[in-house]
């Protein structure tokens, strides 16, 4: 669906928002590649229990959203607020995947009254900065993108493990590869998203947050993108948060094991009063 939005500083624009399912509203923020379509298996599974709202990041041409260069990373945070306002939502479960987890956590810190619960999936922590490998790719992202793709082939191991062997894992990996090809991300925009974190102090913003929070990682030996130890920094930042491990997968749990992820969310959100209230009102 496409919705028109405008602010005092931004022109009117048509934000492309994907909405599926019914139930308590669940906003899902995609990762650094910027395309919500990469998460389609998880979106489809979660929409069986929730009203899933998602979108591509604001600087993606397909997003239809406004990206304010002056606000940088904060434009992604603003996009979550704009999507909720466009749909008339005063409160929602906010879920972020990888880089999107950092966006979701920042949104929750800035707008806690609009968040019934926070869910972080293999999320970058606020202390994260690009390592030497990442900065290597930042030097010339377009030229080095084929190298990045080849290094990403090791994610096939995660898929094979998640699906119980090559017979199911290889076709699943090919389906995901086709989804990536037909909804390509931009290496230049991915590089810029990393650079937008330079100089930000997001930790101080988040320290006082006390919302119900679920932090989900894959298994340590299967996540090649964001080591689970980094995501678990949120459990140190927020002692009240609940940590869970999605077994037999690594960084791609929202794609490889969406039904198991849905069960984790259901169990966690059953203890959140605002979500129980929404279920009663909808039911």
pLDDT digits (tens, 9 = 90+) for 206-217: 998 999 999 999
pLDDT band at 130 (very low <50, low <70, confident <90, very high): confident
DSSP element (H, E) containing 216: strand 213-217
Taking each helix axis as running N to C, give the angle between helix 74-86 and helix 99-110, from 0 to 180 degrees, rounded to the nearest 10.
70
Collapsing DSSP states into helix, strand and coil, what is residue 27? strand
- Please return the burial class of 180, using the count of CB atoms within 10 Å of its CB with bins 0-12, 13-18 and 19+: middle
Q: Comparing 28-37, 98-107, 218-227, 256-265, which segment has the lowest mean pLDDT? A: 218-227
pLDDT band at 280 (very low <50, low <70, confident <90, very high): low
CATH number at 2-126+201-282? 3.40.50.1820
Q: What is the mean pLDDT of residues 78-84?
A: 96
Strand order, beta sheet including 242-245: 18-20, 51-54, 25-29, 92-97, 115-121, 213-217, 242-245
Q: Comparing 46-50, 126-130, 174-178, 244-248, which segment has the lowest mean pLDDT? A: 174-178
Q: What is the pLDDT of residue 1?
A: 61
Q: What is the pLDDT of residue 146?
A: 60
Q: What is the mean pLDDT of residues 3-23?
A: 71
The answer to whether the CB of 236 falls within 8 A of the CB of 229 is no
Q: Is the pLDDT of residue 12 over 80?
A: no
pLDDT band at 7 (very low <50, low <70, confident <90, very high): very low
The answer to whether the CB of 52 falls within 8 A of the CB of 89 is no
pLDDT band at 11 (very low <50, low <70, confident <90, very high): low
**Whole-model pTM above 0.95?**
no
pLDDT digits (tens, 9 = 90+) for 189-202: 988 999 899 889 99
């Amino acid at each position: 669906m496409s919705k028109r939005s405008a602010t005092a500083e931004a022109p009117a624009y048509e934000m492309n928002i994907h909405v599926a399912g019914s139930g308590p509203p669940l906003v899902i923020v995609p990762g650094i590649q910027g395309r919500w379509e990469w998460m389609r298996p998880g979106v489809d599974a979660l929409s069986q229990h929730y009203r899933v709202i998602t979108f591509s990041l604001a600087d993606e041409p397909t997003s239809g959203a406004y990206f304010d260069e002056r606000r940088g990373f904060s434009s992604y945070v603003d996009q979550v607020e704009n999507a909720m306002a466009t749909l008339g939502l005063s409160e929602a479960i906010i879920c972020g995947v990888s880089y999107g987890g950092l966006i979701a956590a920042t949104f929750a810190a800035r707008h806690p009254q609009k968040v019934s619960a926070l869910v972080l999936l293999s999320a970058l922590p606020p202390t994260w900065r690009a390592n030497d490998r990442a900065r290597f790719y930042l030097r010339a992202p377009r030229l080095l993108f084929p190298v990045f793709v080849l290094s990403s082939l090791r994610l096939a191991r995660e898929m094979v493990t998640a699906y119980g062997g090559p017979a199911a894992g290889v076709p699943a990996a090919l389906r995901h590869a086709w989804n990536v090809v037909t909804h390509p991300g931009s290496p230049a925009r991915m590089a810029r998203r990393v650079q937008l974190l330079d100089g930000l102090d997001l930790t101080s913003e988040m320290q006082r947050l006390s919302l119900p929070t679920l932090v989900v990682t894959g298994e340590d030996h299967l996540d090649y993108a964001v080591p689970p130890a980094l995501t678990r920094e949120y459990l140190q930042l927020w002692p009240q948060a609940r940590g869970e491990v999605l077994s037999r997968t690594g960084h791609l749990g929202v794609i490889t094991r969406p039904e198991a992820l849905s069960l984790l969310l259901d169990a966690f959100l059953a203890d959140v009063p605002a979500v129980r209230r929404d279920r009663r009102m909808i039911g």
